[in-house]
A and B are shown apart, each in its own frame.
Chain A
């Protein structure tokens, strides 16, 4: 007996301390948002391989919305309704999915204004812009000459530009130039960096110029701010320029580079007419809130700048080793490279960088683009920070927080003295981290969220695939304190947070019917009708609590292309109406008050098909339905429609 007791005690004693001990006293009250109360921050989280963004409240961690961006979303008809299909058009045609990694919230003077959220499509390179008064994707622009849009969508301090650096360098140019042997990588591949301008008032995007950079892998980026405004910093790896087994072949050099881009200089060259127009093909898709319809335009030209010839745009800062994140501190003075295979974290000084450029303190060049001396640009190195540094955010109080993937922790360190002052475990293998306002000139150093790559035992298991986990920490004091675990949607990468007060009183509650310019809008119930045009049938349908008009339709034939143009006549907040019809090969429609949307349906057999409202809209929601009669192809059943006529 005694032996068994000792064995058990010994077994317990050997087990390392778990998360249970990491939670102290009042964590619950710090994340408790009482029923009816609102969270303090919006957290816009990339969905990774679900191609969406999710909207979460902090500090509660409650999910408020899944916001469709690059992937179809049958829940509200995104990518299925006739109006939204053009949003997912590309030069490759309709692409129903992508991989959304990073978020950028718009800024003015390096502070969040939270007018728009930008997101990148990693696979078929694109950038999307979401309007944060409607939480709707309103613009998607495809990036030509790019292989994978990972180093994106980071923005300049007044949202002048959003950037897109290609992860995979690829051959560019016309068809002949692109059909090359893969082992001619070094000669024929280019690493294209795109600067997309953003209209100050409306947010409309346009590719301002592309830089033809060497064929490295571009990983992440961050704009300079305040004193370093006018510069952009891109992390690079695979400066070995390998094209096979990168795991080994791209991990050979002790140092890769942070590529510093002087975009103000690029603007000067463009103003002087130095750019070169090159033929490309890319889609530019825009949502129109007046017609409630997207249009997709294929564009065929882009302005290209060659930094090998146009001097002083590009400089390389050596950075150990395969840097992942590159981040600029709130003052704009320090540039932190997180070398994911490095044993230290280098901190570079913008002031020193300018001085080194001034003195031409170069250690060499790449195709004529200067490589600065590491020591000349270095402010200092953070010693023994942990293993696998990935990303760094800031609290505005002089501290930086770096996520450590391999050692599964977040390390807090002093930017000036480079001393590590605190470290906390994450569960498990943190990727990105986010502090509200963290990448801006004005962080709100109250909370920090870790977005983890591995979940293991943190939640109730759900088979082979588990919920991804995030952790919320209180960083208001000297020591970071774990407050909360919350599961996330998709596989989050980067996220940004900002005070809810910036946008919560600016939300669009419904669309004004009198301002609806959809070509198939109905302004009232009197115009509800059905029209046949050959084998196309257009049903002009209204929905208002709790009926459709018309709700009895006859004279449709098998094989007809039937278009339901549904206008939601409601003019009040939170009264969407849905539309679903049996056998539709698309999805449902979810139509907001005052909006018009179109569902295409091709009946495949005769019979009477019910359609109904899918959004529980009122006490008589279950009565909100209709019937549509389908007769055989070529039959003479007259076209008829009515509402409430019989009985």
Chain B
């Protein structure tokens, strides 16, 4: 009895299918507001690139010695498409073979992907916010400019926001669907073993 229920097979398939959106929608966004930028500056992070007001953000940030943000700054862009591809493939496999171990593995993969991406972003943000050019025009003693991981943070004259974008939210839905599937399978197994 290590097979998963038909409804959970469908959930796994939907979760895998939803993940395909990561190739077409931005996953994460960082926004900045300042008195001079009431309309806000917005940068979107995709699976393999950046878009939005990246050059303007670079222009503003060079005064405090932050590095120039560009695609070359993120080696992740070169392999994330394969990581996502592999996980999506595994999700489809899970729906096909309907084995409980596969469902659990699929779930763990998505959780690890989430943790991995967030950790990676934190480390990048730490470096970007702390590792400043010593010849920068504006130096505020003791000040670091690490962007928030999730949520809002004041950085000098800017209010910064960081959070999921469309693709990120869709990934969250995938994770939620899988959580439901894993939870129901786990309850079912407990019931079976307690019999």
Contact = CB atoms under 8 A, between A and B. Distances in A.
Contacts of B56: 571-572
A620 interface: yes
B137 A620 contact: yes
Contacts of A544: 59
B138 interface: yes
Interface string B24-41: 000000000000000000
B138 A572 contact: no
Contacts of B137: 619-620, 623
A570 interface: yes
Interface string A598-624: 000000000000000000001110010
A545 interface: yes
B59 A572 contact: yes
B63 interface: yes
Interface string A547-587: 00000000000000000000000111000000000000000
B143 to A, nearest CB: 15
B59 A620 contact: no
A620 B135 CA distance: 14
Contact-size category for A? under 10
Interface string B125-152: 0000000000001100000000000000
B55 interface: yes
Contact of A619 (B53, B55, B138): B138
A619 B59 contact: no
Contacts of B138: 619
A544 to B, nearest CB: 7
A618 B63 CA distance: 10
Nearest to A36: B38
Nearest to A620: B137
Contacts of A572: 53, 55-56, 59
A316 to B, nearest CB: 57
B88 to A, nearest CB: 35
Contacts, number: 16
Nearest to B138: A619
A570 B59 contact: yes
Contact-size category for B? under 10
Nearest to A544: B59
Contacts of B53: 572
Nearest to B55: A571
Nearest to A573: B39
A516 B32 CA distance: 29
B63 A620 contact: yes
A619 B34 CA distance: 14
Contacts of A619: 63, 137-138
Contacts of A620: 63, 137
Nearest to A570: B59
A155 B55 CA distance: 44
Nearest to A574: B36
A544 B59 CA distance: 9
A620 B59 CA distance: 12
A619 B136 CA distance: 13
Nearest to B56: A572
Interface in B37-56: 53, 55-56
A544 B53 CA distance: 16
Nearest to B38: A36
Contacts of B63: 618-620
Contacts of B55: 571-572
Interface centre among B53, B59, B138 (most CB of A within 10 A): B59
Contacts of A571: 55-56
A623 B56 CA distance: 20
A570 B56 CA distance: 8
B126 to A, nearest CB: 26
Contacts of A545: 59
A619 B139 CA distance: 13
Contacts of A570: 59
Contacts of A623: 137
B69 to A, nearest CB: 15
A206 to B, nearest CB: 40
A647 to B, nearest CB: 9
A572 B55 CA distance: 9
B186 to A, nearest CB: 53
A571 to B, nearest CB: 6
A38 to B, nearest CB: 14
A388 to B, nearest CB: 49
A619 B63 CA distance: 9
A570 B62 CA distance: 14
Contacts of B59: 544-545, 570, 572
A519 B55 CA distance: 25
Interface string A90-119: 000000000000000000000000000000
B189 to A, nearest CB: 58
Nearest to B59: A545
A571 B59 CA distance: 10
A202 B53 CA distance: 31
B137 to A, nearest CB: 6
Nearest to B36: A574
A570 B63 CA distance: 15
Contacts of A618: 63
A618 B137 CA distance: 12
A623 B138 CA distance: 13
A620 B138 CA distance: 10
A618 B60 CA distance: 9
A622 to B, nearest CB: 11
B37 to A, nearest CB: 9
Interface string B166-189: 000000000000000000000000
Interface in A517-557: 544-545
Nearest to B53: A572
A522 to B, nearest CB: 16
Interface in B57-71: 59, 63
Nearest to B41: A572
A618 B37 CA distance: 13
A544 B63 CA distance: 12
A118 B55 CA distance: 37
Interface centre among A572, A619, A623 (most CB of B within 10 A): A572
Interface string A236-268: 000000000000000000000000000000000
B156 to A, nearest CB: 11
A620 B63 CA distance: 9
A319 B34 CA distance: 63
A229 to B, nearest CB: 43
Nearest to A647: B135
Given A572-B59, A618-B63, A620-B63, 13 more contacts: A544-B59, A545-B59, A570-B59, A571-B55, A571-B56, A572-B53, A572-B55, A572-B56, A619-B63, A619-B137, A619-B138, A620-B137, A623-B137
16 contacts: A544-B59, A545-B59, A570-B59, A571-B55, A571-B56, A572-B53, A572-B55, A572-B56, A572-B59, A618-B63, A619-B63, A619-B137, A619-B138, A620-B63, A620-B137, A623-B137
Nearest 9 interchain pairs by C-beta:
A572-B56, A620-B137, A571-B55, A545-B59, A619-B63, A620-B63, A544-B59, A619-B138, A571-B56
